[in-house]
Amino acid sequence: MRIAFLTAPSGVEEIELTAPWKAVGENGWIAQLVSTAPGRVQAFRHFDKAGTYAVDHLLAGDTSDTFDALVLPGGVANPDALRMNERAVGFVRSFFDVGKPVAAICHAPWTLVEADVVRGRTLTSWPSLATDIRNAGGTWVDEEVHVCHAAPATLVTSRRPADLAAFCAAFVREFAAGDSQGPPPRSTPGSP
Q: What is the pLDDT of residue 61?
A: 78
Strand partners, 122: 139
Q: What is the pLDDT of residue 28?
A: 97
The CATH-assigned architecture of domain 2-177 is: 3-Layer(aba) Sandwich (3.40)
Domain limits of the chain? 2-177
Q: What is the pLDDT of residue 62?
A: 82
In one-letter notation, the amino acid at residue 48 is D
Q: What is the pLDDT of residue 151?
A: 93
Q: What is the pLDDT of residue 166?
A: 98
**Mind listing the pLDDT tens digit of every residue in the chain (192 residues)?**
999 999 999 889 999 999 999 999 999 999 999 999 999 999 999 889 999 999 999 998 788 999 999 999 999 999 999 999 999 999 999 999 999 999 999 999 999 999 999 999 999 999 999 999 999 999 999 999 999 999 999 999 999 999 999 999 999 999 999 765 443 333 333 456
Catalytic residues: 106-107
Give the contacts of 129 (CB within 8 A, at least 6 positions apart): 107, 109, 110, 113, 140
Rounded CA-CA distance 132/28 in Å is 35
- Coil, strand or helix: which one is 86? helix
Please give the backbone phi and psi of residue 37, each rounded to the nearest 5 degrees, phi first.
-145, 150
Q: What is the pLDDT of residue 183?
A: 39
Buried-state track 103-121, b at ≥16 Cβ within 10 A, e below 16: bbbbbbbbbbbbbebbeeb
